[in-house]
């Protein structure tokens, strides 16, 4: 879990560039933050920033139920990227 910490400003700066990569991972397969993190090879804490930013701006939404491990799954919202 412990990873070299990046400053928040630096993490969120990557949100735009990570967005399409995350959306590709979510194509047809809603995923938890740890699953997305594994797919990206990125720390889950950074993925939380990106996914929550994408949620805020309407790119993903959560499924209603949490997994047995206590995680929400996030799915892509179909929309025009722009």
Q: What span, in angstroms and rounded, lies between the C-alpha atoms of 69 and 82? A: 34
| 69 near another protein, judged by CB under 8 A | yes
Q: What span, in angstroms and rounded, lies between the C-alpha atoms of 57 and 16? A: 11
**53/76 with CB nearer another protein:** 53
The interface mask with another protein, positions 21-60, x = CB under 8 A, is -----------xxx--x------xx-xxx-xxx-xxxx--
Q: What span, in angstroms and rounded, lies between the C-alpha atoms of 45 and 82? A: 26
Tell which one of 24, 29, 66, 77 touches another protein (CB under 8 A): 66
């Amino acid at each position: 879990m412990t990873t070299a910490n990046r400053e928040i400003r630096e993490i969120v700066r990557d949100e735009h560039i990570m967005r399409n990569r995350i959306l590709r991972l979510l194509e047809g397969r809603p995923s938890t933050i740890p699953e997305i993190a594994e797919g990206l090879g990125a720390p889950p804490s950074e993925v939380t920033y990106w996914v929550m930013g994408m949620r805020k701006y309407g790119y993903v939404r959560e499924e209603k139920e949490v997994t047995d491990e206590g995680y929400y799954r996030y799915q892509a919202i179909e929309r025009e990227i722009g």
